[in-house]
Structure 1
Amino acid sequence: MYKSLEATLHDTFWRSEIDADESPLLENFLTQHPGPSLEVGCGSGRLLLPLLEKGYQIEGVELSSDMLGLLLKDASAKNLEPTVHHCPIEEFQTDKRFSSISIPAFTLQLLSRTSAQQVLKRLREIALTNGGLYITLFIPWAEILDELEIDTWHLDKETKLSSGQQARCFTRHQIDRLYQELYREHRYEVAEQKHLSTQTLQWYFMPELISTLESCGWKFQDFDSDFQIGNHDPDASVLTVYATAS
């Protein structure tokens, strides 16, 4: 997962999305929970490195070698020395305890429900008492409501690179509404370069998410919608949820 063009274009596509910057929410969360912090699925450091530059005590966990390589390259250019653990989050081991733990950018949804619960329980073990938890998820309303045709390629993302080349991502999907799973295939293209990848994502509605958090040792506190602090629309496409270690 997150190899080749998918890794290279990941941040470019994120930055090209209008109103898709969760940095203010994450920074606000870290300010409310000062002390050591952990970002799960830190990728290329898109969120982590700017926070390090601002003085936050944050380290990361990342599975993808390609994403980690991008992070280290960018960190070197910025004279930063981040602490990043290269392993699946399910296998992450540490004696440190964290004041805050973040799982941004829909990372939790890449795990099966069973794995997600195991991870949430493990993260509770390494969180300080009253430590904070931050999770961003999305609800795929376009697929749920059949606004996108099943098993049909469509242009999902497109942006122009600094080189002048067009970068595109085409996507097709299958959906299981009963088990709330979305299966997606992505085709990334830049000039003659192409890369195919697949994802199976779980989506959560708020009642299930709150119940899952509480069963894993976390107490739900609040949420924001669509990366807007103070927006509390439970039916929004993007939900950022806050909890504390109970």
Structure 2
Amino acid sequence: MHPAKEHFDDWAGIYDDYYADQEIGDREFYVELAREADGPVLEVGCGTGRIYLELLHADVDAYGIDVSREMLDVLRERAEDIDGSPHVRQADVTDFQPERNYALVIVPFRAFLHVIRLEDQQAALRTLREALAPGGRLVLNFFTPDIDWIAERYGEPQTEVLERDGQTYQITTLAELEDAVEWIVRERRTVEHDGTVVSESAYRLKLVTKREFELLCETTGWSDWTVYAGFDGEPLERGGQEQVWIVEK
């Protein structure tokens, strides 16, 4: 079982509401890439369909995998509202069997950071390379570690209020640097309603630097790659910026 599965199963019901106001500008970027792809597209970590359903709406030949069955159930329900026919299944990126060769594989919204161990990161990148057709591209994004952010926010509970279906929920997140050598973060989230805890779960992230990911690409058979800051092609210059990688087979 993927270590993040339980967390995302638990969060499936409120995931879309929680992230509704936390857009990072990736949706249009990935949809445009998918439209330009000369063949089918695979989204890794498609979740509840935040990007995947936009691909369907754009008539992209899109496929998706996710570790959480509960998240995929939400995606399928949402697809009914747009008369879509999603091709998604539960699978772990480290060992799934590709159903075809894809022209483009995308891993949006920092999903790669949920792959914690070095051997799993390498397995995932090898598997994705094998899933691509000749000349295909892997595109993914995740944030650059920011020392100032870690010093200011980690170890201090952060509380937000979520309004959903006329009800008010209090969501508390506590992020801690679990392993300062390997740069592994543990985040715990608690959801309360009327003073009662209704949900509590945790997950881990492996923070990845630019040099680390370059070495991962080099050791897993990729031929060429480019990294930008954000989705407008700006240079990567400081911590906290969003790394956007375009990796060529």
TM-score, structure 2 as length reference: 0.87
Partner of 2:110: 106
Asked if the contact 1:224/1:233 (under 8 Å) is kept, the reply is yes
Residues of 1 paired with 2:99 and 2:70: CA distance? Answer: 27
Say yes or no: does 1:3 pair with 2:9.
yes
Give the deviation of 1:167 after TM superposition: 5.0
Give the deviation of 1:221 after TM superposition: 3.0
Partner of 2:77: 73
Count of aligned positions: 240
Partner of 1:138: 143
Alignment deviations for residues 119-144 of structure 1 (CA, whole Å, 9 cap, x no partner)? 11011111111101011112342676
What amino acid is the match of 1:117?
Q
1:1-246 equivalences in 2 (<5 Å): 1=6, 2-4=8-10, 6-17=11-22, 19-111=23-115, 112-141=117-146, 145-150=150-155, 152-155=156-159, 157-166=160-169, 168-191=171-194, 192=196, 194-226=198-230, 228-235=231-238, 236-245=240-249
Alignment deviations for residues 168-194 of structure 1 (CA, whole Å, 9 cap, x no partner)? 243242342321111121112344452
Point out the more displaced range, 231-240 or 202-211.
Answer: 231-240
Q: What is the percent sequence identity of the aligned residues?
A: 19
Structure 1: gaps of 5 or more residues: none
Residues of 1 paired with 2:89 and 2:148: CA distance? Answer: 34
Point out the more displaced range, 82-91 or 190-199.
Answer: 190-199
Residues of 2 paired with 1:105 and 1:30: CA distance? Answer: 16
What SS is found at the alignment partner of 1:16? coil
Give the deviation of 1:95 after TM superposition: 4.3
What amino acid is the match of 1:189?
E
Give the deviation of 1:163 after TM superposition: 2.3
What SS is found at the alignment partner of 2:223? strand
Residues of 2 paired with 1:143 and 1:198: CA distance? Answer: 23
What amino acid is the match of 1:181?
I
Asked if the contact 1:168/1:190 (under 8 Å) is kept, the reply is no
Alignment deviations for residues 155-174 of structure 1 (CA, whole Å, 9 cap, x no partner)? 2x443335253452432423
Residues of 1 paired with 2:224 and 2:184: CA distance? Answer: 23
Residues of 2 paired with 1:32 and 1:206: CA distance? Answer: 26
Residues of 2 paired with 1:7 and 1:21: CA distance? Answer: 22
Residues of 1 paired with 2:154 and 2:220: CA distance? Answer: 36
What amino acid is the match of 2:19?
W
Change (3 A) 1:183 1:31: same
Structure 2: gaps of 5 or more residues: 1-5
Give the deviation of 1:84 after TM superposition: 0.5
